[in-house]
Amino acid sequence: MLFMAEIQDLVTKGQSFLKDRKFNDALGFFEQALLMNQNDPDLWNYKGIVLRSMGRYEEAMECFNKSLKIDPRDKNAS
């Protein structure tokens, strides 16, 4: 699964930008990862966290809800 390594690389970069509070950059990486896998609840969570950090609460909630729909037992959904 080449995609998995590629997705993990995007997530790592996104997390790094998120930590540095570079939210636009982080969002771009998480969105790229989601283009490769729409069914990963963690990716929706990351996108939601970035959007929430940007004050885009409605969009963030949509991401968290998508995450929960994919995996209702997801303990990380904020």
Contact 41, 18 (CB under 8 A): no
* Residue-number span of the structural domain to which 9 is assigned: 2-70
Measured CA to CA, the distance from residue 15 to residue 13 in angstroms comes to 5
Question: Exposed, middle or buried: residue 5 (CB in 10 Å: 0-12, 13-18, 19+)?
Answer: exposed
User: Domain of 27: which CATH number?
Assistant: 1.25.40.10
Number of domains in the chain: 1
Phi, psi (deg, nearest 5) at residue 53: -65, -25
The answer to whether residue 34 scores a pLDDT higher than 70 is yes
Let me know if residue 32 belongs to a domain.
yes
Residue 74 pLDDT > 60, yes or no? Answer: no
78 is a domain residue: no
Q: How far is CA 74 from CA 29, 40, 68, 70, in A?
A: 22, 11, 6, 9
Looking at the domain assignment, is residue 55 inside a domain?
yes
pLDDT bracket for residue 56 (50, 70, 90): very high
